[in-house]
Amino acid sequence: MSDLTLDVDQAGELKAAFRRGGWTNGDIKHLCEGNILTRVREVILGRATINTGEPTIDLDADPFVPSDWKVEEHRKGGQWKYDPTKLRLHLSVKQQNGQVVTGLELCKELADLPVMNANLLDWYLINPEFIPNELKNQPTFFWGTR
What residue ranges do the domains of the chain occupy?
A: 8-44, 56-135
Q: E strands of the chain, at which residues?
A: 56-58, 79-81
State pTM to two decimals.
Answer: 0.64
Sign of the CA dihedral 87, 93, 95, 101? negative
d(CA 69, CA 118): 13
- The strand pairing partners of 81, in sequence order, are 56
Write the pLDDT tens digit of every residue in 54-98: 899 999 999 999 999 999 999 999 999 999 999 988 889 988 888
Closest C-alpha to 60, from 81, 77, 36, 84? 77
Residue-level pLDDT at 4: 84
pLDDT tens column, 105-115: 999 999 999 99
Determine the Cα–Cα distance for residues 126 and 70; give it in Å rounded to an integer.
Answer: 22
Q: How many helices (H) and strands (E) would you count in the chain?
A: 5, 2
Q: What are phi and psi of 57, to 5 degrees?
A: -110, 130
Burial 100-122 (b: 16+ CB within 10 A, else e): ebeeeebeebeeeeebbbbbbbb
Q: Using the 8-state DSSP alphabet, how is residue 57 labeled?
A: E
